[in-house]
Amino acid sequence: MAKKFPPWLKKRVIINENLKKTSTILKGLKLHTVCEEAGCPNVNECFSNLTATFMVLGNVCTRNCRFCGVKKGESLPVDNTEPSRVAEAVKRLNLKYIVITSVTRDDLADGGAGQFAKTIFAIKQKIPDSKVEVLVPDFKGNQESLKTVFLAKPDVFNHNMETIEKFYPKVRPQANYKRSLNVLKFAKEADFITKSGMMLGFGEKKEEVIKVMQDLRNVNCNLLTIGQYLQPNKKCLEVERFVPPEEFAEYQKVGEKLGFASVVSGPFVRSSYQAEEMFSKSKKV
């Protein structure tokens, strides 16, 4: 088990007016972010840049991924005012590129797809030239739910593979590797820019990581993020290995050779890290 934090996992804490402004706006509008709920190491940096990844459908998940710090249990009722509150926050933060994600709501017939669609519509209505990326759960592979999200025309469709196939039972027991690939394939067939993400540090080998990258390119996935898994709390899996920055750099090169329009790979990289930059690179797809 990897215990001691290596030198490259030191993060400068930024505290500035923007950080306070972002937190105040989010609190004032009673909004959740995955940044705070999952304990993202970049939260200070992103909030200080007046950006955040909104988490809709409450902050309690119906699944129990062993790497995730989000609360698990009885989910909250769907709040119909949430889409307009997110759009209001986007306006106040003057965001042009917005990422929306959610907990997984296996308790809802549409898995929460309707709330994603309403939130995209509310943002695009309020800020017509905005770009919206959705980081979605797998909706149990339900194509009607996926079509509901497609109808709202997100600019980037993101769904994480998270780890290698053989670790799914240990790391994300309610997910399915092939199902997640098919979700991305279905979005690509609907002509969306697609994106996915992985975390390393569970003991995966290089060739296994590259296999996931190849599987993603086989479904024409355009964008990829690769980051270091960090244990959010004692209930979650321990880190098996801290992957050195040089290895992340290698994966970036391999990914570009495989044909991804953009790969962002590094210890602190998370699904929506540098999302706007990646989107601009995706335009050449």
List residues near ligand SF4 by CB under 6 A.
61, 63-65, 68, 70, 103-104, 137
Nearer to ligand SF4, 101 or 282 (CB): 101
Nearer to ligand SF4, 161 or 243 (CB): 161
Nearer to ligand SF4, 61 or 275 (CB): 61
C-alpha 99/C-alpha 76 separation (Å) is 21
C-alpha 36/C-alpha 250 separation (Å) is 30
Least distance from C-beta 256 to ligand SF4, angstroms?
27
Least distance from C-beta 146 to ligand SF4, angstroms?
16
Least distance from C-beta 230 to ligand SF4, angstroms?
14
Which residue shows structure tokens 């402004």?
21
Nearer to ligand SF4, 137 or 255 (CB): 137
Least distance from C-beta 62 to ligand SF4, angstroms?
7
Angstrom distances, CA of residue 8 to CA of 3, 12, 168: 14, 11, 28
| Extended beta strands in 111-248, E state | 131-135, 156-158, 193-200, 223-228
Nearer to ligand SF4, 43 or 103 (CB): 103
Q: How do strand 32-33 and strand 53-56 relate by DSSP bridges?
A: antiparallel
Angstrom distances, CA of residue 163 to CA of 85, 155, 168: 33, 25, 7
Contact 193, 222 (CB under 8 A): yes
Least distance from C-beta 199 to ligand SF4, angstroms?
10
Q: What are phi and psi of 135, to 5 degrees?
A: -105, 100
Nearer to ligand SF4, 61 or 132 (CB): 61
Least distance from C-beta 57 to ligand SF4, angstroms?
10
Residue 10, Cβ neighbours under 10 Å: how many?
Answer: 8
Least distance from C-beta 65 to ligand SF4, angstroms?
3
**Cβ-Cβ contacts under 8 Å for 1 (sequence gap 6 or more):** 238, 239, 240
Nearer to ligand SF4, 59 or 282 (CB): 59
**Exposure of 176 by Cβ count < 10 A (0-12 exposed, 13-18 middle, 19+ buried)?**
middle
Nearer to ligand SF4, 45 or 138 (CB): 138
Ramachandran area for residue 259 (φ above 0: left; ψ -120 to 50: alpha; else beta): left
Least distance from C-beta 232 to ligand SF4, angstroms?
10
